[in-house]
Structure 1
Amino acid sequence: MATRHTTRRRAALALAAGCTVLAGSLAGVAAGPALASSHREAPLISGDPPVDNTDVYAFVSPDKPDTVTLVANWFPFEEPNGGPTFYPWATDAHYDLNIDNNGDAKADLTYRWDFRTDDRRGNDTFLYNDDPVTSLDDPDLLFRQTYTLTLFDRPNNRVVTLASGAKVAPSNVGPASMPNYGVLRNQAITAIPGGGQSFAGQADDPFFLDLRVFDLLYGGNLSEVGQDTVAGYNVNTVALQVPKSALTLGGNPTRNPNIGVWSDTERYSITLRSPGVQQSSGSEVQVSRLGNPLVNEVVVPAGLKDKFNSLLPEQDRTVPALVNRINFPEVPALVQRIYGIPAPATPRNDLVEIFLYGITTKFGTQLGNLDLNSQLNNLDVNPANFAPSEQLRLNTSIAPAAQPSRLGLLGGDRQGFPNGRRLADDVLDISLQVLEGAAVSGPVAALAAGDRVDANNVAFGTTFPYVALPNNTAVNSRR
């Protein structure tokens, strides 16, 4: 893994000359996350849901403000009653959360979850469990998974095993099989060295929006709004909570509070199948990637989606085919054509700053005199080494808001998206406004209602891992 990434990064650096124009051009790729979560966003990954990233969140922990919580989700549209095999993590893949704390678009830290399966059913039963399950050690739980959590700390040239044999919260089979799922979820929270904790298991999909945006932007007349079309579905979730000093440059969140975050999934490149047997081998290949929501799904054209999923952030600026999808984003042009709302003037330097640099006066002052979340604002960063790239950026020094606004920064809440992303941030409404120029000229009144889905259908938790418990009622029963 480390060798492969090092080789690719050196190759990317060799192509860096003349990349400033490309970096600016890539704003559309980064700024397009306006209209849905990254569910089934590209042709290849849509056929491999266990390793399909859906969302990434990064926020200062509301109940432990000296820590940061990272959440990443995979496996979109898990129907709760999808047995008998339900929704296991892939055992031939690496699930990664990456941190860039010096702004060179390379992962300084990678937290990696690798899963193993213990299937005890054999030829005895088709059931996931053969009686009610009351703990993760209950012998009635016949299908189990565990994981190893490894930290790749590149600045210090070390690889650290943070957890081994950690227990995964199983899929929620239903109340007869798992009468108190909350107990099982709590048992799947694992302490890790340095005062952190890790979780892996199923959860309610925390994203909320009306996916009918794809029907020519809400029916062509804003008639198709108000339906949370991911409500009731589950996802597979990993969550990590660690002290700020574990993530920030030099371990110093006071001098260097800003980090960039993205997730990725790597699979082995060769899969051999024979009747009843599957074996994976070969080199590791990145098959999915996610930072800001909806980059690949809405902005990148169909012919480049699979390629985007394979790119490292440092390579973003080296892909000329993406140039015309950036400073000239598609969504505002569609809104103008369908609704007659004038698109902002291009090229879109505001989007370049927000999504490729982080908000900083070192890029310019068109977004106000605001140094918010760019790694360029870290005191120990050499600006000459900074590389614009698509990442979800977070300023870890901003305390949790006493009364958070679902509109994040646009709602006057500096701890909200696009400064990191909290579970309750309404990123669709925020991003649509940003695409329409609200960060520069103020909110667009005609779109103020957004998709009329302003909150998740179930409440989030107040303690780690914060995501809601997975649903156990069929989605189609809601209709």
Structure 2
Amino acid sequence: MKTTNLFTRIMVVTLLAFVIYAADHIDAPNVQGGTSDITDFYAFQGENTDNIVFVANLQGLLSPNSTADASFDENVLIEFNIDTDGDAVEDLIIQAIPRDGKMYFFGPVAPNTTGLNSTIYTSQVAGEVAITPYGASAITANNAGMSFFAGPRDDPFFMDFARYGEIIGGNATSFNNPGTDTFAGTNVLSIVVEVPKDMIGGSGTINTWVESKQKQ
């Protein structure tokens, strides 16, 4: 199995179960404000219920004025990890990395090694898609039953941080409904891959998490 380039994990967001999400939005000091910061991870059943969708959002809190100049880092590998047997170790991975205005995807593939370090599985090409420019209609691509997208999007995460601070400070007991969206008007860079479930396997329940890894 051909591989190339060593990448080392610099951030991980760990998720369990099948339909779930998590967010950190520059909470991790090692990657705060950098191109490898993962703001959100989503995994959910697709509109086609035979598929599962994985979404990694990066570089949060981009203002509209700065989004056009934001770009995916060609030295940062995004790796979707999938555990199909419940031991919290990745059995399959899907990798995404940008090159020259396109996002390239590899997998799903069983990794030769697990954990901190990764190599790109160039012999397991899943597909590629042109990175959508800011303000343009979404560019998508399809190959072998999989679908792909990469580009800027409005931050989908909702959180009222001011109210949260009031609750933590003992000055409020609950959130307002609907509250104020702290992330309104800010953008992220999104990587999306939709995969047929039969390419994932397992018993119907999976563990999944996403990592960003820096080229060494």
Identify whether the pair has TM-score above 0.5, normalized to the shorter chain: yes
Identify the residue that residue 150 of structure 1 maps to in structure 2: 106
State yes or no: 1:207 paired with 2:207: no
3-state DSSP of counterpart to 2:206: strand
Separation of aligned partners in 2, 1:260 and 1:242 = 15
Against the structure 1 CA distance between its residues 106 and 30, is the aligned structure 2 distance closer, same or farther, given a 3 Å change threshold? Answer: closer
Q: Judging changes above 3 Å, is the alpha-carbon distance between structure 1 residues 245 and 210 closer, same or farther for their aligned structure 2 residues?
A: same
> For the Cα contact (< 8 Å) 2:15–2:207, is it kept in 1?
no
> What is the Cα deviation at residue 171 of structure 1?
2.1
Higher helix share: 1
User: What does 1:350-429 align with in structure 2 at a 5 Å threshold?
Assistant: none
- 1:77 equivalent to 2:57? Answer no
For residue 57 of structure 1, what is the amino acid of its counterpart? Y
The structure whose residues are more often strand, as a share, is 2
Q: How far did residue 47 of structure 1 move?
A: 3.5
CA contact (8 A) 1:54 1:76 kept: yes
Residues 281-340 of structure 1: CA deviation (Å, up to 9, x unaligned): x3xxxxxxxxxxxxxxxxxxxxxxxxxxxxxxxxxxxxxxxxxxxxxxxxxxxxxxxxxx
Are the aligned partners of 1:98 and 1:110 in contact in 2 as well (CA < 8 Å)?
A: yes
Residues 215-256 of structure 1 show CA distances to partners (whole Å, capped at 9, x for unaligned) of 25365322885211111111111111111111122xxxxxx1
Report the aligned-residue RMSD: 3.0
When Rg is computed on C-alpha atoms for both structures, the one with the higher figure is: 1
Aligned counterpart in structure 1 of residue 146 of structure 2, from 182, 196, 203: 196
In structure 1, distance between residues paired with 2:111 and 2:30: 33
Residue 106 of structure 2 aligns with an amino acid whose one-letter code is T
- The one-letter amino acid of 2:196's match is P
Give, in angstroms, the shift of residue 192 of structure 1.
Answer: 1.9
Name the structure, 1 or 2, with higher relative contact order (CA <8 Å, separation 6+).
2
Q: 1:97 aligns with which of 80, 103, 107?
A: 80
Q: Which amino acid aligns with 2:180?
A: Q
Runs of 4+ in structure 1 off by over 6 angstroms are 1-5, 155-158
**Residues 243/211 of structure 1: CA separation in 2 closer, same or farther (3 Å cut):** same
CA separation of 1:202 and 1:30: change in aligned 2, threshold 3 A: closer
Q: Which amino acid aligns with 1:41?
A: D
Kept after mapping to 2: 8 A contact 1:212/1:218: no
Show structure 2 runs of 5+ residues with no match.
17-21, 114-120
Q: Matches of residues 305-324 of structure 1 in structure 2 within 5 Å?
A: none
**Contact 1:213–1:219 (CA under 8 A) maintained in structure 2:** no
After superposition, the Cα gap between the structure-2 partners of 1:238 and 1:150, relative to the gap in structure 1 and judged at 3 Å, is same
Alignment size in residue pairs: 193
Separation in 2 of the partners of 1:237 and 1:171?
Answer: 12
- Whole-Å Cα distance in 1 between the matches of residues 153 and 170 of structure 2? 33
Among 106, 122, 128, the residue aligned to 2:89: 106
Match of 2:197 among 241, 244, 248: 244
Contact 1:212 1:219 in 2 (8 A): no
Q: Which runs of 5+ in 1 are unaligned?
A: 9-28, 118-144, 173-180, 250-255, 269-281, 283-479
